[in-house]
Amino acid sequence: MATRRFQLTEEQVKELANAYTNCKDGPTRTRYQAVRLYGAGYPVWEVIEITGCSRSSLMGWCRVYQTDRAVSLVDKRQGGNRAKLKPTQVEELRRRLQQYAPAHLFGATAATADGQFWTVEDLQRAIQQWYGVCYQSRNSYHRLFDLCDFSYQHPAKVYKSRSEAKMAEFEEQLEKKVIDTVQESPQTVFLTEDEMALYLQATTTAVWAPRGQTPVIRAHPGREKVSFYGTLNLHTGREIVTRSAKMNAEASAQHLAQILEAVPDVPIVLLWDRAPWHSGQVIRNLLAANPRLTVLQFPVAAPKLNPQEHVWKATRRAVSHNHTVPRLPDLADRFESHLKANTFESSFLDRYGFNALCPMFR
């Protein structure tokens, strides 16, 4: 079993205990207590139960504590927001939002694929451009939409059931795997993989629109599609992408070969789900021939655990939601270009203790 490397000295424990006692700010006191307990040897689950923090927050606090001790845990956020619009400006904003679409103002740089509908990001940019005002909170922009007679229209969504016991077991095993790997082979690269099918028929998402004017997207009747294999490098945020006509064992093996080529000469830990095309003789042969590649499986019905799912979501939002592209190859080109041109940050490794241990080995 791996030995925890984040351990506090008696002096550090005393320092955090004194800081906790003398602090009047609740969130900062929680950080002091969580780091002290974890550094004193308490198991992660017990620290979480005592303080109410999340695993990712705990690991992040431990990491910053190593940089500048207790002072690094002080809440540095500043409340208040003086950048407010006058009533006359709000009325003018209402007319402008009713009159213009983001595409009219920002062209191809609008936040959504075709810039037809308003988003918080577009509103933030427009207000900065028109009035020189920038709010700190997204809630401020939500209130402005409401004042301008816009409502947020969102479709219902149904989630698959999952086993919480298996989820907990997986996360415990993954935390141990991460700690063991960092100690034994700190150059290891962690990746997460997933697949998706892109259809010409547009997927829809909620947008801001004038009350009583429901947006309409013309649906393509065909079911033609193109498949994508996507793998996220959890260290760099870069994508490894394979476009495929099918999702089967052969295509999966080809994508694994592409991963090995993209990440040469170092051990790799790849996490993916239990799709049937992730098994088969061709996959077993490739793994046997490349022992530096270790594959781990996510638990059943737990897509939100996989950071690659968030990459798909971000790219769909930017490219294929509410789109008006007439040809599937053109849409697929846009989708692939967005995946390769952007980085996608993830706190996944931080959640399982990697970044708290990483400075000790790199």
Q: Tell me whether residue 79 is in a domain.
A: no
Per-residue pLDDT tens over the stretch 288-343 = 999 999 999 998 878 888 999 999 999 999 999 888 888 999 999 999 999 999 99
Q: What is the pLDDT of residue 168?
A: 81
Q: Tell me whether residue 21 is in a domain.
A: yes
Q: Are strands 225-233 and 268-272 parallel, antiparallel or unpaired?
A: unpaired
Residue 116 has pLDDT above 70, yes or no: yes
Say which residue the tokens 């019905």 belong to: 301
For residue 76, name the pLDDT band (cuts at 50, 70, 90): low
Measure CA of the first residue to CA of the last residue in the chain; give whole Å.
Answer: 21
Q: What is the pLDDT of residue 154?
A: 61
Q: What is the pLDDT of residue 3?
A: 63
My answer on whether 190 and 331 are in the same domain is yes
My answer on whether 135 and 178 are in the same domain is no
My answer on whether 171 and 301 are in the same domain is yes
What is the percent of the chain with per-residue pLDDT over 90, rounded to a whole number?
Answer: 42
My answer on whether 181 and 313 are in the same domain is yes
CATH of the domain at 313: 3.30.420.10
Find the range with the poorest average confidence among 21-25, 41-45, 87-91: 21-25
My answer on whether 66 and 137 are in the same domain is no
What is the number of domains present in the chain?
Answer: 3
**Both tokens assigned to 241:** 């992408």
Q: Tell me whether residue 321 is in a domain.
A: yes
My answer on whether 57 and 32 are in the same domain is yes
My answer on whether 20 and 103 are in the same domain is no
User: Which of 18, 50, 73 lies at the terminal end of a domain, its last residue?
Assistant: 73
Residue numbers of the domain that contains 56: 10-73
| Mean pLDDT for all residues in the chain | 86
**What's the CA gap between 68 and 146, in Å, rounded?**
43
For the residues 344-358, what does the mean pLDDT come to?
A: 80
Q: What is the pLDDT of residue 2?
A: 55
My answer on whether 220 and 284 are in the same domain is yes
Residue 148 has pLDDT above 70, yes or no: yes
Q: What is the pLDDT of residue 323?
A: 87
Q: Tell me whether residue 78 is in a domain.
A: no
Q: What is the pLDDT of residue 228?
A: 97
For residue 206, name the pLDDT band (cuts at 50, 70, 90): confident
For residue 74, name the pLDDT band (cuts at 50, 70, 90): confident
Report the candidate in 39, 99, 44, 95 with the shortest Cα–Cα distance to residue 63.
39
Residue 82 has pLDDT above 60, yes or no: no
For the residues 139-157, what does the mean pLDDT come to?
A: 79
Q: State the maximum Cα–Cα separation within the chain, in Å, rounded to a whole number.
A: 69
For residue 155, name the pLDDT band (cuts at 50, 70, 90): very low
My answer on whether 129 and 229 are in the same domain is no
Residue 132 has pLDDT above 70, yes or no: yes
My answer on whether 54 and 92 are in the same domain is no
Find the range with the poorest average confidence among 27-36, 38-47, 173-182: 173-182
Q: What is the pLDDT of residue 81?
A: 42
What is the SS3 assignment for 246?
Answer: coil
Q: Tell me whether residue 5 is in a domain.
A: no
For residue 95, name the pLDDT band (cuts at 50, 70, 90): very high
User: Which of 35, 51, 73 lies at the terminal end of a domain, its last residue?
Assistant: 73
Q: Tell me whether residue 159 is in a domain.
A: no
Q: Tell me whether residue 176 is in a domain.
A: yes
pTM of the model: 0.58
Compute the Cα dihedral for 333, 338, 339, 341 and give only its sign.
Answer: positive
Strands (E), the chain: 150-152, 189-199, 208-210, 225-233, 239-244, 268-272, 293-297
What is the percent of the chain with per-residue pLDDT over 70, rounded to a whole number?
Answer: 91
My answer on whether 186 and 42 are in the same domain is no
Q: Tell me whether residue 4 is in a domain.
A: no
Q: What is the pLDDT of residue 171?
A: 84
My answer on whether 252 and 107 are in the same domain is no
**What's the CA gap between 217 and 198, in Å, rounded?**
17
Compute the Cα dihedral for 53, 172, 296, 60 and give only its sign.
Answer: positive
Q: Is 275 left (phi over 0), alpha (psi -120 to 50) or beta?
A: beta
Residue 31 contacts residue 73 (beta carbons within 8 Å):
yes
Q: What is the pLDDT of residue 355?
A: 67
Residue 97 has pLDDT above 70, yes or no: yes
Q: What is the pLDDT of residue 117?
A: 87
DSSP string, 302-323: -GGG-HHHHHHHHHIIIIIBT-
For the residues 17-35, what does the mean pLDDT come to?
A: 86
Per-residue pLDDT tens over the stretch 157-202 = 434 455 677 888 888 888 888 888 888 888 999 999 999 999 998 7
Half-sphere exposure of 255 (CA within 13 A, CB side): 29
**What's the CA gap between 262 and 245, in Å, rounded?**
21
Q: Cβ neighbours of residue 341 under 8 Å, at least 6 residues apart?
A: none
Q: What is the pLDDT of residue 162?
A: 57
Find the range with the poorest average confidence among 162-171, 267-276, 279-288: 162-171
